[in-house]
Structure 1
Amino acid sequence: MSDDVTLIATAAMGLESVVASEVKQLGYDVSVENGKVMFNAPVSAIPRCNLWLRSADRVKVQIGQFKAITFDELFEATKALPWENFITEEGKFPVSGKSVKSTLHSVPDCQSIVKKAIAERLKLKYGVAGDLPETGALYKVEVSIHKDEATLSIDSSGSGLHKRGYRIGQGEAPLKETMAAALVLLTNWKPDDPFIDPFCGSGTIPIEAALIGQNIAPGFNREFASENWKWIKNRYWEEAFEEVEDKANYDQKLDITGSDIDHKMIEISKDNATEAGLGDLISWKQMQAGDLSIRKANGYLIGNPPYGQRIGDRDAAADIYRDLGKIMKELPSWSVYILTAFDAFEQKYGQKATRKRKLFNGFIQTNYYQYYGKKK
């Protein structure tokens, strides 16, 4: 097979440009569509992208793309693709699917047809008379049909890339690690700048900031499905892990603080930071946001405060925003970035944002309010 592949880095809605910027920094040219970033790259990009992409959800290998308005077309076009170049004889290949605005709207039927077509192709190529064993490495196939255009891909990540491997505890509504990293990447924060998250919960935003600050690859502490794929040379993984170690800047000093009103969350944050190997790099404090005291001239405050969406919580959230606004009004040199679904945030905070960006925190539509500090 060719040493070049077409890769898809999937992204949460609103984060496509962040993911695209990360892919470009790795040296690959991209095209951007809703929810995904496409790029052609050497096979060696699969380990690198899985290890380095902070804001992407997954990295998929595109096997083929074609129009299909009948089940026969879907079957034949799928069977014509070179699956034997990717899936071994004993490989396990479950098929998931989705269909949007397409003639073939029955997802279970599409999955079944794609599964059968791949199996027939592999049995023909490997000379297997009966059923394929499917006892080997995992190749999660996805059939995605949008406006009758079918895209077939294999997920190279395994577990979603937000599963960094350091979260051993969490609160009720934890922020995904990929979103937390994106919130930091959407700012101009540099490792030398003070950094505060006064609503740290289980510590995700400060931990992701520390990983960014020391240029530690977010995937350094986990495994990927594609590590077991025979067509990816072992040396590609070895070289990728060597790059991760070479580029990490463990000597970079950081001034990062996470605080929360709940002392239990502070203990969880400490445990998570220790698991990530950052135990001594982040300061943790149990306190409410209204007691925040900042004495440094310049810095960045990034937070994901309570949204006040449950009955009885709206007034409490409004009070938090009001108190924070009063504190930060006295610190015009600080940049403030707040993610919330609270529709009257600017009114309660007491200042119109320099910019706001629509993002989805899971299925919740939020705005990322950005206040740019005037540096002293």
Structure 2
Amino acid sequence: MSKIELIATATFGLEAVVAREVRELGYEDLMVEDARVTFAGDEAAVCRANLWLRTADRVLLKMGEFKALTFDELFEKTRALPWPDWIPENAAFPVQGKSVKSQLHSVPDCQAIVKKAVVEKMKQKYKREWFQETGPQYTIEVALLKDMVTLTIDTSGAGLHKRGYRKLGSQAPLKETLAAAMVLLSRWHPEHTLIDPFCGSGTIPIEAALIGSNLAPGLHRAFASEKWPVISKALWAKAREEAKGLAYYTQPLHIIGSDIDGEVLSLARYHARQAGVEEKVFFQKLPVSGLRSKHKYGYIICNPPYGERLGDTKQAEDLYRETGKTFKALDTWSFYILAAHPNFERLFGRKPDKKRKLYNGRIQCNYYQYYGPRPPRKIEPFEETTL
């Protein structure tokens, strides 16, 4: 198989998490930049990266990178790339674009020029003047940053956060990729209890259950590149069989999601069923003030409501104060809290051991990390599923 370059795109702040995931898949030759991790692989890496990456947004095939100051340069250097090696005669190949701090700032013009250049290259290969574009999808992106052009083809199709289990919406959903990142950043181990007292439609507990069971997040969805002739069905089948073989289906987990909204909890239970982790997660209706646990050690990972997003700011502030008082009683637990309020630390009543800037959609947040004491090596056995 040939060596190719792939780009795992990432939300700002999650690049290091994505890079760790790429390395864990066995791809060591990588480069980490803002919002992307570039790595070397082969055709099988397209399948494995799409199936396994929990925190990346997409997996892109990198076709080329060059400097372009004029539209002529953009056209000629784009046409020089080996597009027909990947794109078949009947393919649909729309072009998307973006431009930041570049002389070629007109995105529609850049898109049109790239499209024309790819068509010209295809004409040379396939000896025809017109392409109907009725076949598999090859979405091309032209991205310009400070006059450097990166040309890619999207191998994922729908974004990787669309695992396939969340069919129904809630008022303020957390992206699956960000929820998975929150769990991975906590270094939670499946032997420990994990609670989300603001679980909403269940994304954090479900992503934790997928991680704890080593279930590939993309196992039950389709990808654009599955229809590409150059990546064989056998490669996809092998990658899916590998993923199934690595799953810990019988791994015992103690993951709890609670919320004050009974209706949204019904969504959470539905989503857990769709994700195949219904028996791994327990949901119950409970205000944060009622949070208790018989377990001495554990993790709380949560995304409390933001004033900007759910209700007014004062309600959110009162909730942060109440949360701080409740968590204080769990003095041997670790807390990981995503919040956007600039005065969260004061309202919660405690400075974090560490905080990390993350983005929930367009909302800038901090991920506040409070470390509990290290538990003894022997983990206490799980008791009945209760807070």
CA distance in 2, matches of 1:257, 1:133: 52
Q: Do the aligned partners of 2:213 and 2:248 also contact (CA within 8 Å) in 1?
A: yes
Q: Do the aligned partners of 2:331 and 2:372 also contact (CA within 8 Å) in 1?
A: yes
Write the deviation string for residues 66-88 of structure 1: whole angstroms up to 9, x where unpaired: 11110000001111111000000
Write the deviation string for residues 215-246 of structure 1: whole angstroms up to 9, x where unpaired: 00000110000001111122211110111011
The aligned amino acid for 1:79 is R
CA distance in 2, matches of 1:111, 1:237: 31
Write the deviation string for residues 193-212 of structure 1: whole angstroms up to 9, x where unpaired: 00000011110000000000
Aligned to 2:138: 139
After TM superposition, the score normalised by the length of structure 1 is 0.98
Aligned to 1:263: 262
Shift in Å at residue 312 of structure 1?
6.3
CA distance in 2, matches of 1:299, 1:95: 48
Aligned to 1:150: 149
Partner SS state of residue 243, structure 1: helix
CA distance in 2, matches of 1:273, 1:346: 32
Q: Do the aligned partners of 1:50 and 1:59 also contact (CA within 8 Å) in 2?
A: yes
Aligned to 2:324: 325
Q: Does 1:273 pair with 2:243? A: no
Partner SS state of residue 186, structure 1: helix
The aligned amino acid for 1:3 is S
CA distance in 1, matches of 2:144, 2:207: 34
Aligned to 1:204: 203
The aligned amino acid for 2:304 is P
CA distance in 1, matches of 2:197, 2:311: 22
Aligned to 1:361: 360
The aligned amino acid for 1:135 is T
Further displaced range: 342-351 or 251-260: 342-351
CA distance in 1, matches of 2:90, 2:364: 43
Q: For structure 1, which runs of at least 5 residues remain unmatched after alignment?
A: none
Q: Do the aligned partners of 1:206 and 1:282 also contact (CA within 8 Å) in 2?
A: yes
The aligned amino acid for 1:80 is A
Aligned to 2:87: 87
Write the deviation string for residues 112-160 of structure 1: whole angstroms up to 9, x where unpaired: 00001101110111011x3111111100000001111101000000000
- Please give the residue correspondences for 1:307-346 in structure 2 after superposition, counting only pairs within 5 Å: 307-309=306-308, 313-346=312-345
Q: Do the aligned partners of 1:170 and 1:201 also contact (CA within 8 Å) in 2?
A: no
Q: Do the aligned partners of 2:288 and 2:326 also contact (CA within 8 Å) in 1?
A: no
User: Once the two structures are aligned, what percentage of the paired residues are identical?
Assistant: 54
The aligned amino acid for 1:58 is R
CA distance in 1, matches of 2:343, 2:77: 51
> Do the aligned partners of residues 311 and 291 (structure 1) sit closer, same or farther apart at CA in structure 2, a change above 3 Å counting?
closer
> Do the aligned partners of residues 312 and 302 (structure 1) sit closer, same or farther apart at CA in structure 2, a change above 3 Å counting?
closer
CA distance in 1, matches of 2:85, 2:310: 55
Q: Does 1:109 pair with 2:109? A: yes
CA distance in 1, matches of 2:224, 2:135: 11
CA distance in 2, matches of 1:181, 1:39: 21
Q: Do the aligned partners of 2:210 and 2:217 also contact (CA within 8 Å) in 1?
A: yes
Write the deviation string for residues 330-366 of structure 1: whole angstroms up to 9, x where unpaired: 2221000000101111111111100000001111000
CA distance in 2, matches of 1:170, 1:366: 22
Partner SS state of residue 269, structure 1: helix
The aligned amino acid for 2:38 is M
- Please give the residue correspondences for 1:6-21 in structure 2 after superposition, counting only pairs within 5 Å: 6-21=5-20
Number of residue pairs aligned between Structure 1 and Structure 2: 374
Shift in Å at residue 309 of structure 1?
2.1
Aligned to 2:39: 39
Aligned to 2:224: 225
CA distance in 2, matches of 1:289, 1:308: 17
Q: Do the aligned partners of 1:334 and 1:375 also contact (CA within 8 Å) in 2?
A: no
Shift in Å at residue 313 of structure 1?
1.8
Q: For structure 2, which runs of at least 5 residues remain unmatched after alignment?
A: 376-387
Partner SS state of residue 104, structure 1: coil
Aligned to 1:99: 99
- Aligned alpha-carbon RMSD (Å): 1.1
CA distance in 1, matches of 2:308, 2:126: 56
Aligned to 2:54: 54
Q: Do the aligned partners of 2:200 and 2:268 also contact (CA within 8 Å) in 1?
A: yes
Aligned to 2:160: 161
Runs of 4+ displaced beyond 4 Å: none
CA distance in 1, matches of 2:103, 2:341: 39
CA distance in 2, matches of 1:200, 1:192: 20
